[in-house]
A and B are shown apart, each in its own frame.
Chain A
Amino acid sequence: MHPLNLIKIALKAMARNKMRSFLTMLGMIIGVASVIAMLAIGQGSKQSIQDQISSMGTNMIFVRPESGQQGGVRLESSTMQSLTVDDVEAIRASSPHVSHVSPQVQGRGQAISGANNWPTSIQGVSPDFLEIRKLEVADGVMFTERDIQSAAKYCILGPTVVENLFPGGESPIGRTIRFKNIPFKVIGVLAEKGENTFGQDQDDIILAPYTTIQKRVLAITYLHTIYASAVSEEQSDEAIQEVTLALRTSHKLKESQSDDFDIRSQADLIKTFSSISEMLTALLAAIASISLLVGGIGIMNIMFVSVTERTREIGLRMAIGGREIDIMFQFLIESIMISVSGGIIGVLVGVGASVGVGALAGWPIAVTTYSIVLSFLVCAFTGVFFGWYPARKASYLDPIEALRYE
């Protein structure tokens, strides 16, 4: 029989039992919509985590002292003093895959300007730090190498600090703030960066020459962290190897000794978070696809009812020349039409729900084409798979017995 006529027959059968067809479709609608929504939420959070980590600099590598042991007691890494400015020089001298290196020391405390004060952290770094962390000076200038050599009392403020210390909206450039009683002259303001993945305000920051912080604020000679950046994200691994070698040489470690420092790269971080969120997405999608399975079973059930109800009709169609394949397609097309129209509505509901949830809850949402195509294909497949057996059963009926069916 012509496919167009089969579609007409299926539409008629569906129209005849509108409520039943709709309820059967509802199973598919809920299944598809929830798969799409779950994938959208999962993909959205994965993407936003990736974006935020990358915005901190995809090539970033950071070195911290390894939390070593002293007499069996594990020490907090910040108490370790193994990293020094010499290490920074060693890295700079011997690592061709490293484009920027900056020492880092930091202290927390109250920043004061006139009657205003604000608890924040001050970071002692070198100018390379801007490049490594993808920070920009929006207003004023960055301090220079010469300021580092002279341990100049200059600082650059993050926008959050500016807001709290200079609430009147006046320009902080040229003004002096105090941090732990040390006066710093403000020479620049950073561009806004917002919160990072972990909810930290990246704008709540003060940058100053690391020498100034070491000598005048903390009175230490070691470094807390060394920040570096690889030439490119792909060359992170080579860069890490070079930094490791440079540090081992500079720390005079023997072959048998393990590293007394810990190197991490942003690429590692992205990988870790991506794999976690991918796993979560897969889990959500798996749970959602169970409802798709349930929807499919609903279709199978209703198709059995439909075949039984129309046994005499099947017998008649066979008697006047319907072949097995005609009967089979008649029911198969009906089940495919139920599942596919359920799928189409499901896609619309799913996309709508994702966007709605994203807008209401403020979650990052990413409806991907592949999730739509995938769930649509799964739908069509469900129609064929669960419609097959009832359709087969219909086509195997004996015309005489079917006509005699009460």
Chain B
Amino acid sequence: MTSNHIIEIEQLKREFVMGSEVVRALKGVSFQVKQSEFLTIMGTSGSGKTTMLNILGCLDKPTAGSYMLDGISVASLTKNELARLRNQKIGFVFQSFNLLPRTSALENVELPLLYNPLVGAKERRERALSALEAVGLTERMRHTPSQLSGGQQQRVAIARALVNDPVMVLADEATGNLDTRTSYEIMSLFQDLNQKGKTIVFVTHEPDIAAFSKRTITLRDGHIIRDNVLEEQRSARLFLENLPVTDEI
């Protein structure tokens, strides 16, 4: 039964204690994610999406409830084991890109591999280059974040999440700051990755973006209020092709 579930969550709770106040960000959430699923988490601002994703990405620990990742109870892992898990199994795209300033795109993408003792300097360079190529930024690899547009920075962040060849990619509003065309480009990238078998959990609050996934979970106030599987997945590439070429004077 557990075999093809990469994520199994049971009654997950997360509370933040702020002095005398307790903020309940997640109030008992349960769901499963199958291998190679493309899941979006939707919800209004403050509904607990980022909190959920941080826990899924082993960056944060739940206050209560259980989280099984690939059949392993995350709560039983040590800090170093969690670090290795984040390094080799999970690719994380942050809501705010979190690139290292004054560091080239290439070096930013190489960063996770620096923490992987199995990857040598030559392989690191090669893999970073091919990850940059996958997001279409080969000619910008020497540029620092301040020399890149928001969309380009986002793509560097995606390349960084892919460079370790993770089994699962978690993205927090990866299209949040982007125009429609760039959003579609990014979504098409994620759909390609999903096609290749990677599990993707994607946070957004835009329904038309969610329509590119296979399943949508909607959070409100720390609870799941809807969990529906989409019969038909829209192709981002098709949308991109049909998008009228605008702004050309």
Contact = CB atoms under 8 A, between A and B. Distances in A.
A323 B79 contact: yes
Given A400-B54, A400-B59, A319 B92 contact: yes
A312 to B, nearest CB: 7
Interface string B91-129: 010100010101000000001101111000000000000
Contacts of B164: 321
Contact of B84 (A313, A319, A321, A325): A321
A313 B115 contact: no
Contacts, number: 57
Contacts of A326: 115
Interface in A312-346: 312-313, 315-326
B88 interface: yes
A399 interface: yes
B contact residues, range: 20 to 34
Contacts of B80: 323-325
A319 B84 CA distance: 10
A1 interface: yes
A326 B79 CA distance: 12
Nearest to A5: B114
Nearest to B88: A321
B75 interface: no
A320 B112 contact: yes
A320 B60 CA distance: 13
A16 interface: yes
Contacts of A312: 98
A403 interface: yes
B188 interface: no
Interface in B119-162: 160
A contact residues, range: 20 to 34
A316 B54 contact: no
A318 to B, nearest CB: 7
A312 B160 CA distance: 16
Contacts of A313: 100
Interface string A24-39: 0000000000000000
Given A326-B115, A399-B59, A400-B54, A321 B86 contact: yes
Contacts of B79: 323-324
Nearest to B101: A313
B115 A1 contact: yes
A315 to B, nearest CB: 8
Nearest to A320: B112
Contacts of B86: 319-321
B169 to A, nearest CB: 13
Contact of A317 (B59, B84, B88, B111): B111
Contact of B83 (A5, A316, A318, A403): A318
Contacts of B116: 321
Which of A2, A312, A321, A325 has the most chain B CB within a 10 Å cutoff? A321
B60 A322 contact: no
Contacts of B83: 318, 321-324
B87 interface: yes
Given A1-B115, A321-B116, A323-B115, A316 B98 contact: yes
A143 to B, nearest CB: 85
Contacts of A16: 102
B103 to A, nearest CB: 8
A326 B83 CA distance: 11
Given A2-B114, A321-B87, A323-B83, 8 more contacts: A2-B117, A16-B102, A316-B98, A316-B111, A319-B59, A321-B115, A322-B115, A403-B98
Interface of A: 1-2, 5, 16, 312-313, 315-326, 399-400, 403
8 contacts: A1-B114, A319-B57, A321-B83, A323-B83, A323-B115, A324-B83, A399-B59, A403-B98
The 3 closest A-B CB pairs, nearest first, are A321-B87, A321-B115, A320-B112
